[in-house]
Amino acid sequence: MSYLITDNHSLAQYCQNAAGQSALAVDSEFIRQSTLYPKLGLIQLFDGKQLALVDPLTITDWQPLAQLFADETIVKTLHSCTEDLEALATIGINHIQPLFDTQLAAELLGLGSSIGYARLVEQATGELLDKSESRTDWLARPLAEKQLEYAANDVTYLLPLYQYLLTQFKDPALLPLLLAEGQQLQQRRANPLPPRLKYLEIKNGTLLRSRDLAVLRELVAWRLEYAASRDLALGLVIKDFQMLELAKRKPGSVESLLNIPGMTGRDLRRHAKTIIELIEHAKQLPQDACPQPFYYVEHFPGEKAVLAELGSTIKEVAANTGIPAAFISVRRQLHEYFNWCWRVTEQERALLPVPEYLSGWRQQLLLPHLPAPAQVQNLIKNLM
């Protein structure tokens, strides 16, 4: 039986009842079309006995749910939970322990990489899920019965899926690894890059020269601040490829901004003055205040060579341990380590979060095999 929770008392009562169970299935529905932060529209919970659909538009006290999520005796089961974690963070829920992600579990077990929920449910239970309501406006009220049923299905089959995957963990070392990764996902959210170093995440930034990077750094930091203050998606302020073009061309007038692809009249009216000022500021910086494409180049064989070596290291460790390479490392983690080693100064490195290659379960697995340039070897020793 499922029911819609729309008040604080009912939510507290549900959480109290669920506290006696061993596992809790969790999902969320949200809208994120034009905003920087997801707009939470529904939270689905299933403790094996009762299924609840929680309306976040009417709840004001989230403490009971936060306590339930932090209860270490109850396994919280989610599927591909990265965006769910972001959505739940908007209501102050930042600690979920322990967390069992069924997509990551399937990946770790060799059942497929980034496998979708419906496909995994079908593979594990034979059930075919209806995904026709996936484009629902979850902020609209009232929600139709079909929409509520669709949302309920996302947790109805999550506990059976969890139980099925649990039986597949024949190696006793793998389950702790999965739960540790659940905590790593949350740790990642708690340690974002400082705004002044967010330019490191822009694809193809390494192709720019030093002065170009100074422009890019200013634009990326400004965009994040502007988007956060107005809760706008980053791409609606200015797109990555436009910032790269601005960094290379460095237009000095509003008129010359028209030569940047995609700069519309509205963009020019809204941001032109600020963009020109940021570019001019970056152009006036002393050379030693501009970021370099790479540092310590005398010991640097080149970006392609280093990334290839890192990729080969991951594959070798995967082959030796039986842990899928896709579970050990994703592209973001590889570039995080690369940037930490070669793309920042010693002072900037102190401001960065420790690369995931060098923390948690990955440290023990990867550290003996990772290429570690001289400039970071002492730091790595201190982390051990």
Domain architecture of the chain: domains with CATH: 2-190 (3.30.420.10), 195-289 (1.10.150.80), 297-383 (1.10.150.80)
Percent of the chain residues topping a pLDDT of 70: 99
Give the helix/strand (H/E) hosting 101.
Answer: strand 99-101
- Is pLDDT of 234 > 90? yes
Q: Which residues are catalytic?
A: 27, 29, 84, 150, 154
Region for 67 from its dihedrals, namely left if φ exceeds 0, alpha if ψ lies in -120 to 50, beta otherwise:
alpha
- Is pLDDT of 125 > 90? no
- Mean pLDDT of all residues belonging to the chain: 94
242-249 CB contacts, 8 Å cutoff, 24+ apart: 243/202, 243/216, 243/219, 244/202, 244/204, 244/205, 244/208, 244/216, 246/215, 246/219, 246/275, 246/279, 247/208, 247/212, 247/213, 247/215, 247/216, 247/219, 248/208, 248/212
- Average pLDDT, stretch 80-104? 97
- What are the pLDDT digits (tens) for 264-278? 878 778 899 999 999
Kindly report which listed range (211-225, 248-262, 308-322) carries the lowest average pLDDT score: 248-262
| pLDDT tier at 1, thresholds 50, 70, 90 | very low
- How far apart are the C-alpha atoms of 313 and 365, rounded to whole Å? 11
